[in-house]
Homo-oligomer: A and B are copies of this chain.
Amino acid sequence: MTKNFLCLGLDSEAEKLPKGQTQLSFNQAIVEATHDLAAAYKLNSAFYEAQGSKGWEALKKTIAFIHQQSPGMPVIWDAKRGDIGNTSQQYARAAFEELQADAITLNPYLGRDALQPFLDYQDKTCYILCRTSNPGAKEFQDELYLKVAKKVVQEWNQNNNCGLVVGATGMQELQKVREIAPNLPLLIPGVGTQGGLLTEVLRYGKDSSGGGLLINVSRSVIFASSGKNFAGAARQKVLELIQK
């Protein structure tokens, strides 16, 4: 892929950090080493919340660092939020004002009004979970993911700021989503550690203009080496990916 499609996931699990690194210092080094090669960064909130308020601080400061290091680089807060009205308003505020993220991932189970406070931020992107890449996805999503895609295209995307999350593990599903949503940005996790195939994702995932696709890689890049040169190793891994 070209670097236009690469989203780097900073799933910076505290226990896996190279010796002497904090979540923040690790993220900063990875960002410094890769920002000229990435199209976006994604931070999954779980890895930071597990560290309590200091994790939250690392999350916030990492986002600020990316914005400072690479103005205009989109940062996705992978939070999979979704709650009722006044509560979602507070989550939206956490995402876009407190953390200053440019985009968020959202769970559609509660319906549109639950997500409206996020959708109302017209200059932010809302990636809505459609078909995930885990084994249990089939339990409820088989009957639901195309309906979610349709709802988003036909009703939720009034502000032209919606995208969909589609796992890289099912190419048939990816094709079907693209038929329904030829122009929505897609965020595709599951390449790398989770086993999705890069070539196929590139073949079936692009929008009608040949763009609109972010392929997320996380652990296979950021933990490429646990040695002192972890950032250089991550850069090397990214170079390999974008030359594929």
Contacts and interface: CB of A to CB of B under 8 A. Distances in A.
Contacts of A54: 53
Contact of A47 (B53, B90, B112): B90
B98 A49 contact: yes
Nearest to A138: B111
B93 A110 contact: no
Interface in A129-176: 129, 132-141, 143-144, 147-148, 151
Contact of A109 (B51, B140, B147): B140
A57 B52 CA distance: 8
Contacts of A94: 46, 49-50, 52
A80 interface: yes
B52 A90 contact: no
A109 B109 contact: yes
Interface string A9-30: 0010100000000000000000
A111 B136 contact: yes
A107 B80 contact: yes
Within the oligomer, what is the number of copies of this chain? Answer: 2
Nearest to A60: B52
A235 interface: no
B132 A84 contact: yes
A139 B111 CA distance: 6
A156 to B, nearest CB: 10
Nearest to A93: B50
A74 interface: no
Nearest to A143: B143
A82 B110 contact: no
A88 interface: yes
Smallest CB-CB A-B distances: 8 pairs: A111-B136, A46-B90, A111-B139, A113-B136, A49-B94, A53-B53, A84-B134, A53-B56
Interface of A: 11, 13, 44, 46-47, 49-54, 56-57, 60, 80-91, 93-94, 97-99, 107-114, 129, 132-141, 143-144, 147-148, 151, 189, 194
7 contacts: A13-B86, A46-B87, A49-B56, A50-B93, A53-B54, A80-B82, A140-B147
